[in-house]
C-alpha cells in the first residue's frame, strides 16, 4: 500500500470505532465498487429505497445499480414538476432505506449536512427505517468546527454552482454567510448519535466522492 492508503485505512478504522461508540453501524470500503456491493448486501431484495441529491451516489453509479435490482425505487430524478418532486420527497419518509452522502464528517464521527429545502436532513432525522451514508474520505474534517467550515466553504458554494442559483458564493466561490432568497444553506444539521441504535449506517470509502 502507498503511504496515503496506509494513513486512510488507519483513519477509517479509528473513525469506525468512534461511529460505533455513537451507535452507528459502520464499514470501510477501499473502492466505490466495494461500497456499492456493501449497499446491496445491506438492503434485502424487495426493499423500498429513495435517495437525496447526493452526487456521490450518482458518481459511482449506485442509483443505476439499484434500479437494475429487485427494489421498489422512488427516484426524484425521474420526475420533472416541482409538485411531483415534493410528492417524491414525502414518499421517502415511508421507505425502508434512504441513501445519502454527507457534506462533512468529523474524525470523531459527527456528521454535518446543510440543506436548502430540508427534505434530506428531515429524512436523515426521522422517517425511513434506515439511512445509509456513502462517504468519501475527502469529506473528513478534524473536528466538528472544521466539518461545519468544510460544509459551508466547499460543499455549499460548489452545490450553488451545480444548481445555478443566484447567491453571492455563486459569483465568487466564497461563503458570505448570506441571507439570499435562493440560499441553499437554510438548514444546518448535526448528527451526533444514531437513534434508534444502528438506524444509520456509514460506509467510508477510500476515494474522493462528491463535493
111 by DSSP, 3-state: which?
strand
Q: Find the mean pLDDT for residues 121-140.
A: 98
* Average of per-residue pLDDT across 145-172: 95
pLDDT per residue over 75-117, tens digit each? 988 988 889 989 999 999 999 999 999 999 999 999 999 999 9
The mean predicted confidence, pLDDT, of the chain is 96
Q: Which of 205, 202, 182 is nearest to 193 (CA)?
A: 202
Order of strands, edge to edge, in the sheet holding 130-136?
Answer: 25-29, 200-205, 130-136, 97-100, 48-51, 72-74
The pLDDT value recorded for residue 116 is 95
Average pLDDT, integer, range 48-64? 95
Q: Is the pLDDT of residue 175 over 90?
A: yes
Mean per-residue pLDDT, 152-163? 94
How long a stretch of residues is the chain?
211
Measured at the alpha carbon of residue 124, what is the angle toward residues 122 and 125, in degrees to the nearest 5? 65
Q: What is the mean pLDDT of residues 47-51?
A: 97
- CB atoms < 10 A from the CB of 190, how many? 13
Global confidence as pTM: 0.96
The domain defined by 3-205 folds into Rossmann fold (3.40.50)
Domain ranges of the chain: 3-205
Rounded Cα–Cα distance for residues 197 and 22 (Å):
9
DSSP letters, 44-95, are -TT-EEEE-S-HHHHHTTHHHHHHTSS-EEE-GGG--SHHHHHHHHHHHTT-
Q: What is the mean pLDDT of residues 142-158?
A: 97
Q: Diameter of the chain by CA atoms?
A: 50
Amino acid at each position: 500500500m502507498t503511504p496515503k492508503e496506509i494513513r486512510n485505512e488507519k483513519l477509517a478504522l479509528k473513525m469506525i470505532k468512534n461511529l460505533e461508540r455513537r451507535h452507528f453501524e459502520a464499514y470501510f470500503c477501499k473502492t466505490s465498487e466495494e461500497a456499492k456491493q456493501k449497499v446491496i448486501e445491506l438492503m434485502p431484495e424487495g426493499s423500498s429505497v429513495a435517495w437525496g441529491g447526493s452526487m456521490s451516489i450518482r458518481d459511482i453509479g449506485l442509483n443505476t445499480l439499484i434500479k437494475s435490482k429487485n427494489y421498489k425505487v422512488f427516484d426524484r430524478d425521474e420526475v420533472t414538476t416541482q409538485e411531483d418532486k415534493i410528492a417524491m420527497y414525502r414518499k421517502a419518509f415511508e421507505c425502508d432505506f434512504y441513501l445519502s452522502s454527507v457534506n462533512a464528517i468529523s474524525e470523531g464521527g459527527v456528521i454535518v449536512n446543510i440543506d436548502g429545502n430540508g427534505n434530506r436532513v428531515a429524512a436523515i432525522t426521522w422517517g425511513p427505517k434506515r439511512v445509509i451514508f456513502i462517504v468519501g474520505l475527502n469529506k473528513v474534517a478534524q473536528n466538528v468546527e472544521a466539518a461545519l467550515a468544510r460544509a459551508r466553504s466547499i460543499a455549499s458554494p460548489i452545490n450553488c454552482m451545480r444548481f445555478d442559483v443566484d447567491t453571492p458564493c455563486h459569483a465568487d466561490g466564497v461563503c458570505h454567510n448570506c441571507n439570499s432568497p435562493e440560499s441553499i444553506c437554510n438548514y444546518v444539521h448535526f448528527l451526533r448519535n444514531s437513534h434508534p441504535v444502528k438506524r444509520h449506517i456509514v460506509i467510508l470509502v477510500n476515494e474522493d466522492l462528491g463535493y
